Structure formats: C-alpha cells, structure tokens
Amino acid sequence: MKIALAQLNYHVGNFENNTKKIIEHIKLAKADGADLVVFAELAVCGYPPRDFLEFEEFISLCEDAGKEIAEHCTGIACIVGLPVRNEQIAGKDLYNAAYFIQDKQIKSIARKALLPNYDVFDEYRYFEPATSFECIDFMGTKIALTICEDLWNINNNPLYVSNPMDALIQEKPDVMINIAASPFSYQHDDERRIVLADNAKKYSLPLLYVNQIGAQTELIFDGGSMVFDQNGNMLDEMGYFKEDLKVYELVGSVIAGYKPMEHKPMSDIAQIHDALVLGIKDYFVKSGFSKAVLGLSGGIDSAIVCALACCALGAENVMAVLMPSKYSSDHSIKDALDLVENFGCQHEIISIAEAADAFDSMMALAFKGQAFNLTEENIQARSRGIVVMAMSNKFGYILLNTSNKSECAVGYGTLYGDMCGAIGVIGDVYKTQIYELAEYINKDGVVIPVNTIVKPPSAELRPGQKDSDSLPDYDTLDTILFQFIELKKSSKAIIEMGYDEALVKRIIKMVNGAEFKRYQTPPILRVSPKAFGSGRRMPIVGKYLA
C-alpha cells in the first residue's frame, strides 16, 4: 500500500481555500500512485478554530466540505481532520476527529481522546474526549489512527491517565498514522522526534506522522512530518516551513526503500528566522493585506523587523518611517538610511521634534514646576506612534511592532507609542537572540549595517540615553528572564544559581508589574516554548512575585 503525506498550509475558516487545496492534493497523490493520502488535524477548518466552533453554521460548513472532499475519493482513500458532532446529549457538542474516506463514503471516524489544555492549547473548551477506539481496515492493512496529542502521553510525567494506542494495539494493527497541528517553537522539533520515536519503539510499529505548516495569527506551524520504522528509527523527514507531499510504500509492517537517517536540525536562530518570515507573510496574506509600515530608528530591533518584513513581503511592500527627535544622533539616521538602501524598501523621514515641542508647550501650565522625566520621554514615543498609525490609516499599511521579548518582559516600552502595532514580530525573541539574528541575516553579506549591531542600544529620548541606564546588561537580564518565564523558576531558585538577590527580585518585580502593558500589546509571533500571549496567562493585580 502506498501512503501519501500531505503537509499543507491551511487558513482558519477559509473552507473554499482549504477544500480546494485538499482536493488538489488528493489528485496529486493519486497521480503519484498513492492508495491513501493523509491530511493534518482539523485540516478542513484550520487550526485553531477557537470560538468559531461555537457557531452552528461553522460546523455545517465543515460537514459540507467533508462531503465535497469525499466526492473526489475514487481510486484513492483519504484521512482528513475536522470537527464532528457528538450525537450524545451528555458531554461537549463536538469531537476533534478525522474522517477515513473510501469510494466517496465516510467509512470510519476517529476521535481524539487526549485534549491538550495547557500553554496555547484550549481544546477541552470545545471538544469531548473519545473513550472508544478501533483500527481502520484498508487494503488488508490495519491502521491505528490517532490525532496529535494522542501520542504524547508517553513521558515520565504523563498528563493523562490513559493512552488510545494501548487500546488500539489490542487489535494488532500493522501501522500507526498520526495527524497533527503541532505549533512551532525552536525546541519543539527535537521533542516531537523523541516522542514519535518512542511510540514506534513502544508499540513495535512503523509510524507515519503528518503536521501542517503556516501561521494562524501568532501560532506558527513548521511541518517537519516524519516517518519511523518499528524500532523507532527515523526514516524520512519532510521539509520545514514549506508545503510538501511525499508517497511512502508500506509492505506488511515495513516502510520500503528507506534506511534509518540522522536527524539534522536547523540551528535555533535559523528556525526562528524562517518562522518569523512565515509568520509575517501568512499574517498579511490570510488577512488580505499586502503592505507594511514600521518605525525605523537606526537601532537593531527595527532593523531586524525591517529585514524580516522585506524577506516576507518584498521590499517594495515595506515602508520604513524614520522619526528623529531632537535627541537623535546623526549616526542613527545614517544607519537607518543605509539599511533602507541595502534592502531597497520605501522610506519617509518625519521629524517628531515639532510635535514633541507642541506637546511640551501645551502641557507647560499643567506641568509647571515639574522636572523633565519619563513623561516627556513617553510623549516622544507616543508622537512616533501617532505618525506610523497615521501612515497606516492614510495608505492602508499594516503596522509592525518592533519590541523584543526582553523589553516586553520588563515593560521597557511605551503604551500607545512604540508598543503599538497589528502584529508583534520579535516580541518572543530576547535581545541576545536579536544579535544572533542579525549575524544570521548578514551571513551572506552585510545588509544590516555593522554600526547598528555594535552600538549601545538606546531609545534616544533624552541626551546620551542608553538602555543600560534603566536595565541590567542584556546577557544577565535574558538569562534570568529565561529561567523565570520559560523554565518557571522562582526567585529563590534563580538566586540559588548564583545571581544577585536584589537584581533577581528587581527583574521579577518588573516582569509582574508590566503585565497590564502586555494585555494591551498586539499578538506576538510565537517562536519559544513560552511566549507572551495566550500561552502565558497571568493576573494583572496578583500579589505573588515568585
């Protein structure tokens, strides 16, 4: 039997596009000699559909799409993910499920049992967990079909009390197939490979795994579909961050023509770069936008965002706005202009000095006797926010936010100023990783000016200002932030690692105190195991400081 894995980019709620794409790949797989083609989890409606699932019409459109797909399954069978109704009154109204379609008929429905409800996942909000399981019989082969998380309960600290495969293995299947919507983080490809290999080894069965690619707002899916033999050896690995279709021949319980291969992952920074490019591109394409605007300061953060946007959208579709203040240095303007020249994007120079002076004059009476402080700095940042939002409104540009994760974490940014935007491009990338990204982008030639990379970071909102005036050095800051945010360690545990007690407590207090700001920021492209947004839910007025 020949099995095709279709690793595709879906669009939540775009039934016309998703259905067309699935049908096209049924035809392509059939032309390649496949007997069965396998699509990803919730492929019909896209993942995650979230509260769309609460609309009756949405579920009906899923069903209509499933029927249309079935009409094209002649001479080839398919497995495709979609939500299905729960016919029982008790329990949630839906299952996260998959159709097995053969000869234009839905022959079998597999339902997901293990529903993740952690980090960015919220499946138990919508779906009822399956409690019964049976293999699919096709061409004399028994297929144990599972959906994503159903294979993830295999580590030393299981989240669930049962495994669907423990029931399915009783029917003596010949092969496992797992369909998934597994979001990207720069650590997740290694975790997936280990989990899948352990399943193949535990159940002594070959395993074919298909993931999807593409971005759905902040969530990015990287693909990397894989095939394993019954000993847990990886036999093949499909592309990352791109659509792919491959056919594998199953002879008995053996994937023919493949030998064990070594997993050679991309570097973390290469993965982050490609994920962010895909995230920007899909945000624009799937939202119906084409042109981006950003504030370009001459600093490294905005330079990185500009570079990524030019790669994702084409330089001709990127507008960089230089907004010097009376404190901006000549070299910052030159660095920004050098970047514009290197990429060939559009640009405007709009000074905010006049606007800031006007605000100072307007507020002079109310602020009488008060010294210059953060207030006036924020007025400058908000003046820049007004300028880029005006460009967005006037020309239909979509504003890209350029705040990095270190800044987002400690609240080093101005609400309604440099924190505004439609999508946070690098809000899940620490400052130390930003420098690595710059080096990666410059690997084939200098496009981000060297001075942009080597000069001390500064918001240039007062004379001689540097980030280091307000923050610890980024190497130390990012290390402590990683321990607290990604690894969820307490202040006590971090202090015991050798870090200064006062510094640790100061940083953690800053993180918790900035929660109200993060609630008002744009969605942030997720590239780490723990990003700000739906995967990290903290109270704003909580007292606990860890």
The residues annotated with a catalytic role in the active site are 41, 112, 148
Sign of CA dihedral 60, 64, 67, 72: negative
Closest CA to 345 of 306, 396, 393: 306
Is beta strand 175-179 parallel, antiparallel or unpaired with respect to 207-210?
A: parallel
Query: What is residue 246's DSSP assignment?
Result: E
The CA dihedral of 416, 418, 423, 427, to the nearest 10 degrees, is -120
Angle, alpha carbons 528-530-535 (nearest 5°): 125
Sign of CA dihedral 350, 352, 357, 359: positive
Q: How far apart are CA 480 and CA 300, in angstroms?
A: 22
Q: Which two tokens stand for residue 298?
A: 């001459």
> 3-class SS at 444?
coil
419's CB contacts (< 8 A; 6+ apart) are 401, 403, 413, 517, 520, 521
Closest CA to 136 of 36, 232, 255: 36
Q: Which residues of 305-326 are buried (b: 16+ CB within 10 A; e: fewer)?
A: bbbbbbbbbebebbbbbbbbbe
Q: 């280091």: which residue's tokens?
A: 468
Q: How far apart are CA 6 and CA 28, in angstroms?
A: 10
Q: How far apart are CA 336 and CA 343, in angstroms?
A: 11
> 3-class SS at 520?
coil
Q: Which two tokens stand for residue 418?
A: 């440099």
Closest CA to 384 of 514, 517, 519, 294: 294
Q: How far apart are CA 238 and CA 301, in angstroms?
A: 32
Q: Which two tokens stand for residue 491?
A: 């202040």
